């Protein structure tokens, strides 16, 4: 008899946990759709000042504010600072080359971290493909993804630790 009472108590406790879990999921709202586009999301983050400046100089801001969707592999200010001296200045002085470098960081469509696991490469808006490795973390060419899935209204941003340079 004691054993049946104990089992009944376990079933009641498990049932309460399940019901509580279902109720808490039902009560919590779905995540809101991001209101900022890729450019505004990057600017608001504060660590993409060089990228924002480069997008303006290349006249690509309006393109990345369009409906998309886009996937942007966004190098941080530190990634730009790690380039050899004079590289940023040379790129800013050569609009065509700057556009090619920036478009090499953008893929058409929304590719989330979950999607990347099945990919070996992705074609960029620049025309060349990026190599994708998922062995220990995610690598795009030789850059590591340090933050994935920063959602924007017109796509997704993956923060990377290096600037990608096309061949």
Q: Report the CATH number at residue 101.
A: 2.30.180.10
Q: Give the containing element (helix H, strand E) for 129.
A: strand 129-133
Q: Are residues 21 and 84 in the same domain?
A: no
Task: List pLDDT tens digits, range 1-60.
Answer: 333 333 333 333 333 333 333 333 333 333 456 689 999 999 999 889 999 999 999 999
* Separation of alpha carbons 11 and 7, rounded Å: 6
Q: Is the pTM of this model over 0.85?
A: no
Q: Are residues 103 and 25 in the same domain?
A: no
Assess if residue 111 is contained within a domain: yes
Q: Are residues 12 and 67 in the same domain?
A: no
Show the domain range for 17: 1-30
Q: Are residues 24 and 53 in the same domain?
A: no
Task: List pLDDT tens digits, range 49-104.
Answer: 999 999 999 999 999 999 989 999 999 999 999 999 999 999 999 999 999 999 99
């Amino acid at each position: 008899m004691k054993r049946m009472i104990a089992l009944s108590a376990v079933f009641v406790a498990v049932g309460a946990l399940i019901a509580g879990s279902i109720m808490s999921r039902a009560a919590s709202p779905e995540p809101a759709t991001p209101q900022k586009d890729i450019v505004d999301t990057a600017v608001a983050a504060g660590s993409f000042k060089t990228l924002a400046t480069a997008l303006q100089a290349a006249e690509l801001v309006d393109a990345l504010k369009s409906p998309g969707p886009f996937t942007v592999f966004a190098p941080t200010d530190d990634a730009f600072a790690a380039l050899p001296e004079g590289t940023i200045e040379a790129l800013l002085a050569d609009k065509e080359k700057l556009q090619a470098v920036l478009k090499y960081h953008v893929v058409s469509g929304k590719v989330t971290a979950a999607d990347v696991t099945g990919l070996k490469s992705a074609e960029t808006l620049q025309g060349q493909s990026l190599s994708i490795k998922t062995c220990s973390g995610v690598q795009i060419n030789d850059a590591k993804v340090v933050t994935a899935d920063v959602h924007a209204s017109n796509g997704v941003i993956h923060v990377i630790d290096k600037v990608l340079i096309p061949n």
